Amino acid sequence: LATKLGEKEFFFGQSPSPLDAVVFAHLAPLLKAPLPSAALQNHLKACTNLTRFVGRVLQRYFPKEIKDQEQAERKITKQESEYSDSEFPNKLRDIRIAALIALVAMTAYAMSTGIIQVI
């Protein structure tokens, strides 16, 4: 498919054909959907002209969906960053307290077993 498409906009020139619709219908889900094994998706992404072809069809015939998807991705990214900040607001303080407790516990163990002796 990548060789047949070459650098053309569509398979048979400047306007889409039924073949373009069939190819898009097969490639778009492979490119956009999360898959359990990414081998086929990675191969498709390596064929940059096919990736650009799917992008062109999406922009030409589904501009609203692309805009909605980009907004949803931005919203998810924003929520993830807010979640991590709100989930651990005192992260540095907690790390310091845990380190202090570990130090005290190790020192107490070393003193109780005689590894460290206080004169």
pLDDT tens-digit series, residues 42-81 = 999 999 999 999 998 998 888 888 888 888 888 888 877 7
The reported pLDDT for the residue numbered 102 is 96
Least confident of 7-21, 36-50, 51-65, 85-99: 85-99
Whether 10 and 55 have beta carbons less than 8 Å apart is answered as no
Rounded to 10°, the helix 18-32/48-61 angle is 100
For the chain, give me the number of helices (H) and strands (E)?
Answer: 6, 0
- What mean pLDDT, rounded, does the chain reach? 87
At 86, the pLDDT band (50, 70, 90 cuts) reads: low
Instruction: Tell me the mean pLDDT in the region 87-110.
Output: 89
The pLDDT assigned to 83 comes to 63
For 44, the token pair is 């498709």
What is the pLDDT averaged over residues 16-33?
92
**Contact in structure between 5 and 11 (CB atoms under 8 Å):** yes
Enumerate the domain spans of the chain. 2-87, 89-119
The pLDDT value given to residue 92: 84
- 10: three-class secondary structure by DSSP: strand
CATH number of 2-87: 1.20.1050
